[in-house]
């Protein structure tokens, strides 16, 4: 995983969750859909929202160091959720960037901007933002953002939210068998440790079986 050139938040925060309703780790462009998982590698589905402060902290405190700390090969799969309707176009941009191989760099820029109060609530705003932060032709990103493939990935992400009854973010499904969410742990570090231990074959200490 490539390190991201954004300031890291160093203080561990208590996770209260967000917007309830409801060889190395791979983070290159994902397959065209989520249904190709699970594979023969350990997997963590990480449900997040761009509006979610604890999700942002968890990403920058723990997930970008995933490849340095996980003991076995594994797959980290980010799943944006839409508890807050204002994140719809940001989520579409995430999927477009995945398809084009622009993540994790673009995702990091997008997350930072949203948390900083940048207006990313419309297609026009997201496209203007992308023009500054993508490394592919603008027309390619625009086409991807409006594509049926992004529609498909949006629908699949929502289906996963419903399938696993995700009610808070960040929440993690380990190997499609074990749920860990903010109500079950005390800090970002503890959340990561629980996920890492379970992915590596340890007995879950907290969380719930699916």
Question: pLDDT grade, residue 72 (50/70/90)?
Answer: low
pLDDT of amino acid 202: 67
- Cα angle 178, 158, 32 (rounded to 5 degrees) comes to 90
Alpha-carbon gap, residue 32 to 59, rounded angstroms: 23
Alpha-carbon gap, residue 38 to 147, rounded angstroms: 25
Alpha-carbon gap, residue 13 to 70, rounded angstroms: 22
Give the residue-averaged pLDDT of 152-177: 91
Which is nearest to 91 in space by CA: 151, 143, 46, 45?
A: 151
pLDDT of amino acid 156: 92
Looking at every residue in the chain, the average pLDDT score rounds to: 79
Q: Could you give the percent of the chain with pLDDT greater than 70? A: 72
pLDDT of amino acid 122: 97
Asked if CATH classification 3.40.30.10 holds for the domain at 49-167, the reply, yes or no, is yes
Statement: the pTM of the whole predicted model exceeds 0.95: no
pLDDT of amino acid 38: 59
Lowest model confidence (mean pLDDT) among 6-10, 18-22, 170-174: 6-10
Q: Where are the domains of the chain?
A: 49-167
pLDDT tens track for 21-32: 443 333 334 445
Report whether pLDDT(107) > 90: yes
Alpha-carbon gap, residue 193 to 197, rounded angstroms: 6
Give the residue-averaged pLDDT of 35-52: 81
pLDDT tens track for 186-205: 676 777 777 777 777 766 65
> Are 30 and 79 spatial neighbours (Cβ–Cβ below 8 Å)?
no
b/e map 83-98, b = 16+ CB within 10 Å: bbeebbbbbbbbbbbb
Q: How many angstroms from the chain centroid is the CA of residue 188?
A: 14
Q: Is the backbone peptide bond immediately before 38 cis, with ω within 30 degrees of 0? A: yes
Residue 149: is it exposed, middle or buried by C-beta count within 10 angstroms (0-12/13-18/19+)? middle
Instruction: Identify the bridge partners of residue 76 per DSSP, sorted by sequence position.
Output: 44
Question: pLDDT grade, residue 114 (50/70/90)?
Answer: very high
Q: How many angstroms from the chain centroid is the CA of residue 163?
A: 17
Alpha-carbon gap, residue 50 to 181, rounded angstroms: 17
């Amino acid at each position: 995983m490539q390190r991201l050139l954004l300031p890291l938040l160093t203080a561990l925060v208590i996770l209260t969750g967000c917007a309830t309703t409801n060889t190395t780790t791979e983070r290159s462009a994902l397959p065209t859909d989520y249904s190709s998982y699970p594979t023969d590698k350990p997997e963590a589905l990480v449900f997040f929202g761009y509006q979610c402060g604890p999700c942002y902290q968890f990403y920058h405190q723990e997930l970008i160091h995933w490849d340095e700390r996980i003991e076995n090969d594994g797959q980290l799969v980010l799943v944006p959720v839409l508890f807050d309707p204002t994140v719809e176009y940001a989520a579409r941009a995430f999927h477009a960037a995945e398809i084009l191989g622009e993540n994790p760099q673009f995702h990091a820029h997008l997350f930072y901007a949203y948390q900083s109060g940048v207006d990313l609530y419309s297609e026009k705003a997201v496209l203007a933002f992308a023009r500054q932060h993508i490394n592919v032709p603008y027309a390619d990103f625009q086409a991807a953002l409006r594509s049926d493939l992004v529609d498909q990935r949006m629908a699949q992400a929502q289906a996963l939210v419903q399938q696993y009854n995700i009610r808070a973010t960040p929440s993690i499904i380990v190997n499609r068998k074990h749920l860990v969410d903010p109500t079950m742990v005390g800090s970002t570090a503890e959340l990561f440790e629980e996920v890492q231990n379970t992915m590596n074959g340890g007995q879950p200490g907290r969380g719930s079986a699916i």
